[in-house]
Structure 1
Amino acid sequence: MTLPMPNLDDRRFQDLVDEAKYLVQRNCPEWTDHNVSDPGVTLIETFAQMVDQLLYRLNRVPDLHYLRFLDLIGVRLFPPAAARADVTFWLSAARDVPVVVAAGKQVASVRNEVEDPVVFTVERTLNIVPCSLAHLATATAEAGVPPVDRTDELLVGGGPAAFAETPAPGDAVLFGLSDAVPGCAVLLRIDCEVEGQGVDPHDPPWLWEAWDGTGWAACEVDRDSTGAFNRAGDIVVHVPDGHTMSVLARQRAGWLRCRLVEAKQHQPFYQRSPRLHAVEASTIGGTAAAVHAEIIRNEVVGTSDGTPGQRFPLGRPPVVVGEGELVVEVSGPDGWQPWTEVRSFADSGPDDRHVVLDRVGGQVEFGPAVRQPEGGLRHYGAVPAKSAAIRVPEYRSGGGRRGNVAREVLEVQRDPVPFVSSVVNRRPAIGGVDGESVRDAAVRGPLLLRTRDRAVIAEDYEQLAREAAPEAARVRCIPAHGADGRETGAIRVLVVPAVPDTGELAFATLMLEPGMRGRIERHLGERRCVGALVSVEPPFYQGVTVVARLRARRRTTAGTLGARATQALYDYFNPISGGPDGDGWPFGRPVQSGEVFAVLQRLPGVELVEDVRLFAANPITRERGEQVDRLDLPPNALAFSFGHQVRVREAGA
């Protein structure tokens, strides 16, 4: 990105001429003829013209010079961050042997005429393990009562009840699989009849879980065609990664369970228990984590010449932000020796195997040797032996906002896997952030000089948190308050992750990933003042629901205007890109119904905003509060769009 032309020296031709004539009058008073016809004035104007050209070139400092200047004060551009998504591989049919999706396999979006596909790489090998139903058990909500094995009753066609005759929250039916299936999609084919009376077949009060060795972890239900155990059909459950074998009801199996939970408001509950007449289980797919980056392994970047301060370029810059530091290996008599990445060589000794990585430029740098006043050399970091090979075992190249694709976009197998018929990302990819621009780095440089890599005031914490997690969309530091409203002396660092800009945000995508939270906590912990208590957490997201009624202009259809108005509301009450200025809803700013009128009235095709009603909403419980004209937010809160409803009356209706 080209920076605006700076004025390092704002003098122009006439300024230079006037300044020279002033110096002539002061230093050479006998020179009295200052007219343009004087030969001396002609020389002054000639040199002024030459200097004016030099100043013009000086003021057009290229971006590369800015990068070098920033490097002198220890400022380097933030690298891009790679988006991540869970990708599900669906088998063409259930298999009797495991299907392996190797790490490094690539999936992509569909190529179109405008842009290249977005490519994701599988991070870890996925084993799609076959399974079958080995055992069936039931458990009641009564404390201390162990599960009861119902396998024999199922096999003889007895139709065991899934829950107690009068179902209650806590009742559960347990399915014992022949093997643990971590990360797999399990198909349960169930034969049952309309006996589970009272329940809504599309919204049953249940929770599917899998045993992970320490407790029950929630599973995701992909689809349910049984109507909550009320007709013959299939249930597909995505099992979490930690699933393991365990013993329940005196039977060892990979256990899944369907547990009844308290019904939500206006949600019907079971009045009678459904009965299961037959159950079959099989594995039909698996889910693996994928990253929007190319994973490069064992790249040899050069050979050492035995001198300090060597630099070696990587083949595929930039290097995206990862979970840990980069490791560089140097060959030696005992094999490959690991060298670790550090931020700078300031604390490195002569024997420390340290490297510094320029992630944007893609360059590995070894420690320099600095001449001391007495004439000796001080080595900051060890020097690789002469003729030693330098390689990087693994790094990731790519990243950027383009990887924040919507759900069901990654559907192309670039590296086909046998017996896999299709692939899809069931949720949007999140976490992709473009690398820092030179303009932003030029602004950050003076701030870094002021903070001196220490966290003292709120702006210091915000700046250092962004440094630790460039993929964060917003960071805000506020004081912590106790129950009595007084400041406790602790510091709260509120972090909003970057999420796909796809209109309606999914609430779950705004939660902090443990990896990002850990990096920020470690980074701030090393730089905070002694005794300062720092908490890194997400903001409080206040759900906002708008119910509006509009009248459309002539030649404007109700459907088009309704969709446009709904999108405008989701855009305005967006914690990342909404608000009056379009850079995210301001922390603690109240929401008023009057501004909703303004947002809707300025839309093309709106004749009149007839009515606007504002409600507070809970994005977790999906409950809506009472109508209000003003919704006050605490200092740690952001507005979050939830369930807007817009009705449009066409002109003349």
Structure 2
Amino acid sequence: MTLPSPNLDDRRFQGLVDEAKRYVQRRCPEWTDHNVSDPGVTLIEAFATMVDGLVYRVNRVPEKSYLTFLDLIGVRLHPPTAAGTDVTFRLSAPQPEPVVVRAGTEVATVRTETEPAVVFTTTRELTIPPCAYAALATWPAAGSGQGAQSGQGGQSGQGAGPAGVDPRMVKGGARSAVDRTEELALGRDVPCFSPTPTPGDALYVGLTAAVPAGVVVLRLDCDVQGVGVDPLRPPLVWEAWDGDRWSACEVEKDDTGGFNRSGELILHLPATHTPGRVVRRTGGWLRCRLVEAAADQPTYVAPPVVRGVTAFTIGATVGAEHAERITDEVLGTAEGVPGQSFTVSRPPVVPDEFALEVTPPEPARAVGAGAGSAGGSAPADVWTRVDDFAHSAPDDRHFTLDEGTGRVEFGPAVRERDGSIRHFGAVPVKGASVRVRSYRTGGGAQGNVARGTLRVLRGTAPFVARVENRRPAVGGVDGETVDSARIRGPLTLRTLQRAVVPQDYELLAREVAPDAARVHCVPEDGEAGVRLLVVPSGRGDAHGRIAFDELIPPPGTLERIARHLDARRPIGARLAVEPPYYMGVTFVATVQAGRGASAERVHEDALTALNGYFNALTGGPSGDGWPFGRPVQTGEAYAVLQRVAGVDLVDDVRLYRADPVTGQRTEVPDGRIALDRHALVFSYEHQLRVREV
């Protein structure tokens, strides 16, 4: 986007006249006739005209010269980026045939009296396939003896984790798995695990078809036989086969209490769910695996049983973005002259693929184009987008795009010293139609909506009852401001699009990933390489908590940064673009509320303060994110809690290391955790007790 010219003095003719008249009233009260017929007013207007011309010229120097220089070195305002999230479409009832939700379906937030609706569009077509229960199998862990009792030989071993390849899912069937389909059909009780439940035992549920990214309901008929387990925290993990390994499913609802009563399970399956083969039965396989219980988590002493299984699809999930895709837009007709430009109808353009086609007129297809022009026999020529025309040859079909203004420009022609004309890029033939196949418009920080807010389905989708986003939308960034571009200008001139020192890597990474909240470059000790750590934008809840998966940047962002820097790093320098290591911390504190203070309010404010200070995005002493490598100490927690309104005294603070994946905690006796220079802090479920006076 071309940088706008600033106004050093925004006064105009009428404002100068009015200001002079007010000055006359204060200094010369006997002058009472201020009509335009008065000679004095005529002089005021004459001088105002002269000053207005001077102001006009002042507003164009020196700031105008400075911003023009930024344009010359290639500094353009970064366009807004679009926030993205996943939206789940729920069916009104299970359907016997696949339900299709077209690409570009609009979902929005609820419009209020003060806030307009924020509209998202789906990024691809979504197919919601039907499914039903097909088969049941069990797998004993190593040493349980159940495989031998079943009479099926094969390998036995501990079940692989969600990210590991399962050796049991092989071509020809799952070795040592026991087929329980017939037993269940005869109405018998089927034990889910071994007689002595062992971590690694698994219950396999086969569906008639795979349901990628689907929402599947399992209705289970169970009885209270799986004793010993906490029905609210059973040590179970649900997984789905993706063709190569078992991937974790998200459990939205579990009414069974760990297979101890009849109820429903609602599972969100991964998008990679693929048909597999278990006990010689092919289908979309799921499994429930018994895992090691935590220290404070009871486990099974007897196996639970299943008496009946019913399954069906109730919805599916697809990606959505805060942007609208425009397709087949005709920009205009080429005049056959160098440097011609066009503007899209819906700027700004969100960074994405921008496919531009030029269709020559019929005569040009038959005769061909002249020198310096691009024509051809093809119905439409696809042109290539470049950053500039510095390396464009006269026959290269190149164009540039200013994403902020939506301006498309073709190559110019420059007169050389000897009088010849040099073309930088081809020129579309006269009469050719210039068309954009597709582009996206929209974006901005307003798209970072909270979870559960995209509830309005615009238009109609067959058999869809409702829609929701189960995670907050992230990645939306407003367009760059002029002040920010002025700061970036000298840095761009220094780097010259080459990454040498750590600051160069950070600056160049931000050019292609403005949606990243933080970018930090760490040189490797004793090695010719650097590690670039990327922290994505995240959105906290009412208490400042940020979900752990929101701090992991999307693979596309990491690939885009790596590809951009790979062409600009020194030869031989190794580059790794990855998320930082997050050290989970939990503070367990006791505070005393002041006289008259609400204990509930103090509790909420104190938790919000801890989550906000020990935060990768908004924490630290400066409030712009916890510094990389800064140690975590209980002393800072004391200071944070003491500043909370209503806290009279901080009695005790204890610090624990926490694993944000497993939830396990380990107390730190000395109250200090040293962080590696690649690490950031992550607040994990702080616990607070408030004593009242």
Deviation at 1:63, TM superposition (A): 8.7
Please name the residue that 1:632 is paired with: 674
Distance 1:454-1:59 versus aligned 2 partners, 3 A rule: same
Please name the residue that 1:175 is paired with: 205
Contact residue 184 and residue 240 of structure 1 kept, 8 A: yes
Alignment of 1:283-298 (within 5 A): 283-298=313-328
1:9-48 Cα offsets, whole Å, 9 max, x none, are xxxxxxxxxxxxxxxxxxxxxxxxxxxxxxxxxxxxxx9x
Counterparts of 1:98 and 1:106, CA distance in 2? 20
Any idea what SS the aligned residue of 2:524 has? strand
TM-score by length of 1: 0.88
Any idea what SS the aligned residue of 1:321 has? strand
Of the candidates 484, 489, 504, which is equivalent to residue 528 of structure 2? Answer: 489
The one-letter amino acid paired with 2:532 is V
Distance 1:456-1:168 versus aligned 2 partners, 3 A rule: same
Please name the residue that 2:354 is paired with: 326
Deviation at 1:3, TM superposition (A): 9.8
Counterparts of 2:562 and 2:423, CA distance in 1? 31
Deviation at 1:259, TM superposition (A): 2.0
Alignment of 1:274-353 (within 5 A): 274-322=304-352, 325-332=353-360, 333-353=377-397
Any idea what SS the aligned residue of 2:349 has? coil
Any idea what SS the aligned residue of 1:329 has? strand
Any idea what SS the aligned residue of 2:510 has? helix
Distance 1:307-1:635 versus aligned 2 partners, 3 A rule: same
Contact residue 84 and residue 473 of structure 2 kept, 8 A: yes
Alignment of 1:648 onto 2:678? no
Alignment of 1:436-447 (within 5 A): 436-447=480-491
The one-letter amino acid paired with 2:301 is Q
Alignment of 1:184-195 (within 5 A): 184-195=214-225
Contact residue 619 and residue 642 of structure 1 kept, 8 A: yes
Contact residue 5 and residue 67 of structure 2 kept, 8 A: no
Deviation at 1:255, TM superposition (A): 1.5
Alignment of 1:64-83 (within 5 A): 68-83=68-83
Counterparts of 1:202 and 1:335, CA distance in 2? 64
Alignment of 1:422 onto 2:469? no
Distance 1:269-1:551 versus aligned 2 partners, 3 A rule: closer
Counterparts of 2:521 and 2:415, CA distance in 1? 42
Contact residue 540 and residue 547 of structure 2 kept, 8 A: no
Of the candidates 261, 283, 291, which is equivalent to residue 231 of structure 1? Answer: 261
Any idea what SS the aligned residue of 1:441 has? helix
1:248-293 Cα offsets, whole Å, 9 max, x none, are 2111212122222233333223222222111111111111110011
Deviation at 1:492, TM superposition (A): 0.8
Please name the residue that 1:32 is paired with: none
Contact residue 535 and residue 553 of structure 2 kept, 8 A: yes
Please name the residue that 1:407 is paired with: 451
Alignment of 1:91-102 (within 5 A): 91-102=91-102
Any idea what SS the aligned residue of 1:515 has? helix
Please name the residue that 1:43 is paired with: none
Any idea what SS the aligned residue of 1:182 has? coil
Alignment of 1:260 onto 2:301? no
Deviation at 1:206, TM superposition (A): 2.2
Deviation at 1:331, TM superposition (A): 1.6
The one-letter amino acid paired with 1:643 is E
The one-letter amino acid paired with 2:355 is V
Counterparts of 1:257 and 1:358, CA distance in 2? 51
Deviation at 1:534, TM superposition (A): 0.8
- Farther-moved stretch of structure 1 (198-207 vs 181-190): 198-207
The one-letter amino acid paired with 2:306 is L
Counterparts of 1:63 and 1:208, CA distance in 2? 62
Counterparts of 1:200 and 1:337, CA distance in 2? 66
Contact residue 295 and residue 395 of structure 1 kept, 8 A: yes
The one-letter amino acid paired with 1:491 is V
The one-letter amino acid paired with 1:284 is I
Counterparts of 1:617 and 1:252, CA distance in 2? 41
Distance 1:68-1:301 versus aligned 2 partners, 3 A rule: farther
- Farther-moved stretch of structure 1 (175-184 vs 591-600): 591-600
TM-score by length of 2: 0.83
Distance 1:247-1:617 versus aligned 2 partners, 3 A rule: closer
Deviation at 1:459, TM superposition (A): 0.5
Contact residue 8 and residue 58 of structure 2 kept, 8 A: no
Contact residue 572 and residue 578 of structure 1 kept, 8 A: yes
Distance 1:61-1:201 versus aligned 2 partners, 3 A rule: farther
Of the candidates 490, 495, 499, which is equivalent to residue 455 of structure 1? Answer: 499
Counterparts of 1:523 and 1:116, CA distance in 2? 37
Any idea what SS the aligned residue of 1:185 has? strand
Please name the residue that 1:109 is paired with: 109
Deviation at 1:62, TM superposition (A): 10
Contact residue 294 and residue 664 of structure 2 kept, 8 A: no
Please name the residue that 1:538 is paired with: 579
Over the aligned positions, Cα root-mean-square deviation in angstroms equals 2.5
Counterparts of 1:577 and 1:301, CA distance in 2? 43
Counterparts of 2:105 and 2:645, CA distance in 1? 46
Deviation at 1:220, TM superposition (A): 1.2
Alignment of 1:506 onto 2:557? no
Alignment of 1:464 onto 2:492? no
Contact residue 356 and residue 383 of structure 2 kept, 8 A: yes
Any idea what SS the aligned residue of 2:351 has? coil
Deviation at 1:76, TM superposition (A): 1.0
Deviation at 1:546, TM superposition (A): 2.1
Counterparts of 2:641 and 2:462, CA distance in 1? 52
Counterparts of 1:552 and 1:65, CA distance in 2? 59
Any idea what SS the aligned residue of 1:326 has? strand
Deviation at 1:465, TM superposition (A): 0.8
Alignment of 1:355 onto 2:383? no
1:145-182 Cα offsets, whole Å, 9 max, x none, are 34232211111112222222222222222222112211
The one-letter amino acid paired with 1:549 is T
Counterparts of 1:366 and 1:3, CA distance in 2? 24
Distance 1:267-1:553 versus aligned 2 partners, 3 A rule: closer
Any idea what SS the aligned residue of 1:136 has? strand
Counterparts of 2:614 and 2:506, CA distance in 1? 23
Distance 1:233-1:71 versus aligned 2 partners, 3 A rule: same
Deviation at 1:530, TM superposition (A): 0.6
1:518-563 Cα offsets, whole Å, 9 max, x none, are 0011111100001001111111222222222222233321101111
Counterparts of 1:602 and 1:3, CA distance in 2? 44
Any idea what SS the aligned residue of 2:521 has? strand
Of the candidates 250, 269, 277, which is equivalent to residue 299 of structure 2? Answer: 269
Contact residue 5 and residue 60 of structure 2 kept, 8 A: no
Contact residue 67 and residue 438 of structure 1 kept, 8 A: no
| Structure 1: 5+ residue stretches without partners | 8-46, 482-486
Distance 1:623-1:245 versus aligned 2 partners, 3 A rule: closer
- Farther-moved stretch of structure 1 (570-579 vs 253-262): 253-262
- Farther-moved stretch of structure 1 (345-354 vs 228-237): 345-354
Contact residue 6 and residue 59 of structure 2 kept, 8 A: no
Counterparts of 1:496 and 1:296, CA distance in 2? 31
1:68-89 Cα offsets, whole Å, 9 max, x none, are 4422111111111111111011
Please name the residue that 2:41 is paired with: none
Alignment of 1:479 onto 2:507? no
Of the candidates 353, 358, 381, which is equivalent to residue 425 of structure 2? Answer: 381
Of the candidates 594, 606, 611, which is equivalent to residue 635 of structure 2? Answer: 594
Any idea what SS the aligned residue of 1:190 has? strand
Deviation at 1:359, TM superposition (A): 0.7
Contact residue 67 and residue 76 of structure 1 kept, 8 A: no
| Structure 2: 5+ residue stretches without partners | 10-46, 143-154, 157-174, 361-376
The one-letter amino acid paired with 1:506 is A
